[in-house]
């Protein structure tokens, strides 16, 4: 009876070679496209021109231009990187340990696959509305000028980065509940980086967080995600016992976030 019960528990892969790619370097998520939350159903239309929300978007854009050239601007550029292993470093300092294929393979895979689920869940609304990004409207350089040609062809509403950043924060908060406040604050800042960078309006980021939370809620019904989440939690607890510490410059990250408050 025990053998039958155990055989139904999925064994989550930790090697990227065992998971197909949605595009080079980016792994497929846990969910099929048809099972992703529908951002068109979840979200209202983008703010209409002349509305109070549109005015607030403009104000948020103007006030965050003061970040140009600061450490917070540099952090926003770093937060734009979604390729691994670099992307995992965004939360390593806040978690208090490295997140990598070598150090935490289950957690690393959890982040790589949930990236696709949260990010792709935004595209029903993105493709429908095709909202123009702020750096195009204002004809100013963003914090990631090399990405501007690509971003100009991709809808601004909702923000995919904000969706996956918030999804990662929620997942990590479940894995390390003793750091819940810091992890959620980092997830919030990760989304705000898109406003500071000039590639998303504030309402894009707010809507992205809704989609990210919806993606995590749906992921909890997936057996493979549940198994990988449990393995990642055990992995992190074991690393804590061994006294594993992050290897990046965490002081610089903290200073960068503090330079421009995420509440602006």
> Quick check: is 222 catalytic?
no
Given the residues 200, 209, 218, 262, select the one marked as catalytic: 200
| Other Cβ atoms closer than 10 A to 21 | 11
- CA angle 264-192-88, nearest 5°? 145
Given the residues 57, 79, 117, 204, select the one marked as catalytic: 204
What DSSP string runs through 125-190? HHHHH-PPPHHHHTT---S-GGGHHHHTTS--SS-HHHHHHHHHHHHHHHH-GGGHHHHHHHHHHH
Backbone dihedral angles phi then psi of residue 173, each to the nearest 5 degrees: -65, -30
DSSP state of 23: E
Tokens 């239309």 correspond to what residue? 45
Given the residues 161, 188, 209, 218, select the one marked as catalytic: 161
8 Cβ neighbours under 8 A, 6+ residues apart = none
Backbone dihedral angles phi then psi of residue 49, each to the nearest 5 degrees: -55, 135
> Quick check: is 150 catalytic?
no
> Quick check: is 262 catalytic?
no
> Quick check: is 194 catalytic?
yes
Given the residues 106, 112, 188, 194, select the one marked as catalytic: 194
Task: Check: CB of residue 129 under 8 Å from CB of residue 155.
Answer: yes
Residues labelled catalytic: 161, 194, 200, 204
């Amino acid at each position: 009876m025990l053998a039958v019960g155990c055989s139904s528990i999925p064994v989550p892969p930790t090697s990227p070679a065992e998971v197909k790619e949605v595009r080079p370097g980016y792994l497929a998520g846990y969910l099929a496209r048809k099972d992703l939350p529908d951002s068109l159903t979840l979200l209202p239309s983008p703010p209409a021109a002349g509305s109070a929300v549109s005015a607030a978007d403009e104000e948020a854009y103007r006030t965050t231009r003061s970040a140009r050239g600061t450490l917070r601007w540099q952090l926003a550029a770093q937060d734009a990187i979604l390729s691994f292993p670099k992307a995992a470093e965004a939360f390593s300092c806040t978690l208090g340990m490295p997140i990598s294929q070598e150090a935490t393979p289950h957690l690393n895979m959890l982040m790589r696959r949930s990236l696709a689920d949260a990010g792709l869940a935004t595209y029903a609304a993105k493709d429908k509305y095709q909202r123009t990004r702020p750096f195009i409207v204002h004809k100013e350089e963003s914090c990631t000028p090399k990405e501007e040609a690509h971003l100009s062809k991709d809808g601004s509403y909702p923000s995919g980065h904000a969706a996956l950043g918030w999804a990662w924060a929620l997942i990590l908060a479940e894995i390390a509940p003793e750091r819940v406040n810091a992890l959620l604050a980092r997830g919030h800042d990760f989304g705000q980086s898109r406003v500071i960078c000039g590639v998303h309006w504030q309402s894009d980021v707010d809507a992205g967080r809704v989609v990210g939370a919806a993606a995590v809620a749906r992921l909890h019904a997936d057996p493979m995600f549940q198994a990988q989440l449990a393995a990642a939690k055990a992995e992190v607890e074991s690393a804590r016992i061994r006294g594993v510490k992050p290897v990046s410059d965490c002081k610089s990250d903290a200073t960068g976030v503090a330079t421009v408050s995420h509440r602006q």
